[in-house]
């Protein structure tokens, strides 16, 4: 299948609907009406001004000045309409970039009789947000890429390291809004690798820890594309270190377990593993579990984890916007609600949490509040 044909197939392959996306005129493109100027998020939120400024090369044939569009007053359309309009607007520039990359490869001696192989794809972990936690190899690859596909939880500070000639494309996912389906991401990676590009897939944390990196690697390798994985510091390690929590500690925790709060098929109660996870001698780390944590906490206690087990929830860990709340397991869900933590929030549960110097401080503050009453 021709590369441009594959690009045109992205929207129609994303769902079972028979509707096809057609390029839309700029006057019909309204997602920028819902731009967030003062979200103070270290990450790329779905309709943030940083995202559109960073990726504006994709819209330059339709939008001459993205800043001026931000003042529009019409209500934003539904998420699916926004997603479809954006993909349609991006297609011309994506196809143009493919052509440029093919011509570049031919100029470098891979045209005519000489057959060139595909480019390389790098799955790069960018850590929990602090750019100083990147590996040297990750920085080198980020600065040498032709095209970078980046997720929501790749921090803005990390994206500032991208080389001046590279193109950035947001493919982030949040609850209720997937800018690209996983199948569309697969096809983007394949199309540009086949054009000879150096393609970097940027993921928050580590690409092989709840990052779907294994799925992308498997798909590309089946198509004959060489994939190199560059590990990143996963959120559990980065945030635990930031708080002074040893994930394992002799005599306290002899193992650590990572759990996702999301089920493969969605739903609010996927945590069927709680029975085996309720181990007082282990440390439990919950990713993406903000909405399901109340259910998980009850299940863990039901299966034998002491209600007074130390625990902590950390929002936007390792970034300047980090917020956290320490509490015993039985109280943590209520405290998360009280302080209104938002995604991404990581939970660490286990006796090792009490080894953090912040634990005693938080307990002292709680005692003072009780006495004040």
Enzyme catalytic residues? 151, 173, 288
- As a whole number of angstroms, the distance between CA 337 and CA 343 comes to 12
Q: Please tell me the chain's helix, strand, coil percentages from 3-state DSSP, rounded to the nearest 5.
A: 40, 15, 40
Q: Return the axis-axis angle of helices 213-222 and 182-194, rounded to nearest 10°.
A: 40
Q: Are 79 and 85 in contact (CB under 8 A)?
A: no
**How many Cα neighbours within 13 Å face the side chain of 198?**
11
Structure tokens given for 63: 């939008």
Strand order in the sheet with 147-150: 167-170, 147-150, 199-203, 121-125, 227-230
DSSP E strands in 245-355: the ranges are 255-260, 282-287, 310-315, 323-328, 345-349
Structure tokens given for 231: 């590990």
Say if strands 323-328 and 282-287 run parallel, antiparallel, or are unpaired.
Answer: unpaired
Q: Which residue has tokens 């969605």?
A: 266
Sign of the torsion formed by the C-alpha atoms of 156, 158, 159 and 163 = positive
Q: Return the SS3 of 189.
A: helix
Q: Return the SS3 of 233.
A: coil
Structure tokens given for 5: 């044909």
């Amino acid at each position: 299948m021709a590369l441009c044909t594959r690009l045109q197939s992205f929207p129609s392959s994303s769902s079972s609907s028979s509707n096809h996306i057609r390029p839309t005129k700029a006057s019909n493109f309204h997602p920028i009406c819902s731009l967030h100027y003062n979200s103070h998020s270290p990450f790329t939120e779905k309709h943030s001004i940083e995202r559109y400024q960073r990726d504006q090369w994709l819209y330059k044939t339709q939008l001459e000045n993205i800043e001026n569009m931000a003042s529009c007053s019409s209500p934003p359309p539904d998420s699916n309409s926004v997603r479809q309009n954006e993909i349609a607007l991006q297609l011309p520039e994506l196809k143009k970039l493919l052509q440029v990359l093919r011509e570049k490869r031919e100029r470098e001696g891979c045209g005519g009789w000489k057959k060139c192989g595909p480019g390389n794809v790098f799955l790069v972990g960018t850590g929990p947000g602090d750019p100083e936690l990147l590996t040297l190899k990750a920085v080198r690859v980020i600065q040498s890429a032709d095209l970078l596909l980046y997720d929501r939880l790749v921090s803005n500070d990390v994206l500032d390291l991208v080389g001046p000639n590279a193109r950035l494309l947001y493919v982030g996912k949040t609850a209720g809004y997937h800018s690209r389906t996983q199948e569309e991401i697969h096809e983007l990676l394949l199309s540009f690798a086949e054009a000879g590009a150096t393609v970097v897939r940027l993921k928050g944390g580590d690409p092989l820890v709840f990052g779907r990196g294994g799925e992308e690697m498997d798909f590309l390798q089946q198509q004959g594309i060489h994939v190199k994985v560059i590990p990143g510091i996963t959120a559990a390690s980065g945030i635990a270190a930031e708080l002074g929590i040893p994930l394992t500690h002799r005599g306290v925790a002899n193992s650590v377990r990572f759990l996702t709060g999301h089920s493969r098929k969605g739903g609010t109660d996927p945590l069927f593993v709680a029975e085996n996870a309720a181990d007082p001698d282990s440390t439990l780390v919950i990713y993406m579990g903000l909405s399901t944590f109340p259910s998980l906490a009850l299940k863990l206690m039901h299966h034998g984890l002491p209600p007074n087990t130390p625990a902590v929830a950390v929002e936007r860990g390792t970034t300047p916007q980090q917020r956290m709340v320490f509490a015993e397991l039985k109280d943590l869900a209520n405290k998360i609600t009280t302080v209104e933590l938002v995604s991404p929030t990581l939970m660490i549960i286990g006796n090792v949490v009490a080894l953090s110097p912040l634990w005693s401080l938080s307990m002292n503050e709680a005692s003072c509040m009780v006495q004040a009453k």
